[in-house]
Amino acid sequence: MLIRSKAPLRISFAGGGTDVSPYREEQGGVVLNATIDKYSYATLQFHEIAHVSVQSLDYDVIAKYDVDKPLPYDGRMDLVKAVINRLLPADLNHGLSVFMHTDAPPGSGLGASSSSVVSVIGLFERWQHLPLTNYDIAELAYEIERVDMGIRGGRQDQYAAAFGGFNFIEFGKDVTIVNPLRIPADIVNELQYNLLLCYTGQSRVSAGIIETQVDNYIQRRTEVVQAMSELKSIAVALKNALLQGKLNDFGALLNDAYENKKKMAQQISPPFIEALYQVGRQQGALGGKVSGAGGGGFMFFYCPFERKHHVAEAVEKLGARVVDFQFESQGLQTWEVG
């Protein structure tokens, strides 16, 4: 028997960064995001040989470890091993292998790391029949990434991967509330038709950007604190525009979100990102945003339909690659084979 899982990646429209400590505990955060049809996949296979193996199908990396010892963190798929260390039964009398595959490269800005953690948790939840809700899975993924592994970052990616769909997520000191948005199909289709998603050609390490952002907030830099407060207001306005089908307003608000996002840390918008964004605007995009923490990875534009192909041509001339996508309404999914 095999157990498989997949968890979707996401694009974040506004509010990213307000879900990061200590801002979240002190001020409260909000994020508007949506999952797309790009995924982190995981497979769990059982065998008689008493070892645990972890393999990346993307990079042809495989690591094998004794089943009766905690898996060591040695730079090879440590996040996957952290899930196994948390959830592997102590009385296991056989071996198992975990295989990983992701539709986006590391540093993509689409929440791939968190999606991978959620997908592996899904394997163990299915195998052991663990009574975990989507909230439980998301919170466990957060603890594994941010506490066990000490990776700086926020909370939105884990919740997006677990729940799926369009969500307006509120982050408080002691609670996270996911508000699923019921958006008419016509509006979703039109938004998807007018959005242009592209890979910038350069990945980045988000932890360094987030560390700068956190330091700027802790130092109470006025521009940063004001920008983060404004981002929360913009996230609310974007949610309302989306629910009401005011998509041109939605596009213009994305520009406001991007301009405020850049104020949080200098690394968010390096010259090549800024050049891509400005050429997109010059070709008619109403707004757009670099996805995730910024600095590279994916970015997207909202374009009137008659200008979308012009924006695509312009950004591709600068080295970006346009990527087809659709919105995904489902979160974590697991199933058995054989």
Torsion of CA 74, 103, 176, 14, to 10 degrees: 120
19 is catalytic: no
Across 311-315, average pLDDT:
97
pLDDT at residue 206 greater than cutoff 60: no
C-alpha distances (whole Å) from 225 to each of 24, 110, 213, 216, 319 are 12, 25, 10, 8, 34
pTM of the complete model:
0.94
304: cis peptide before it, omega within 30°?
no
Torsion of CA 260, 263, 265, 268, to 10 degrees: 50
pLDDT for residue 326:
97
pLDDT at residue 332 greater than cutoff 80: yes
Please give the class, per CATH, of domain 185-322.
Answer: alpha beta
Q: Which of 91, 157, 186, 256 is catalytic?
A: 157
- What token pair was written down for 68? 């009766």
Confidence of residue 250 (pLDDT cuts 50, 70, 90): very high
Confidence of residue 62 (pLDDT cuts 50, 70, 90): confident
pLDDT for residue 217:
84
Q: What is the CATH number of domain 2-182?
A: 3.30.230.10
Helix (H, G, I), strand (E, B) or coil at 310: helix
pLDDT for residue 97:
95
Torsion of CA 235, 8, 38, 42, to 10 degrees: 150
Q: Report whether 120 contacts 137 (CB < 8 A).
A: no
Query: Where does the chain hold its CATH 3.30.230.10 domain(s)?
Result: 2-182
Helix (H, G, I), strand (E, B) or coil at 24: helix
Q: Report whether 165 contacts 35 (CB < 8 A).
A: yes
Query: Where does the chain hold its CATH 3.30.70.890 domain(s)?
Result: 185-322
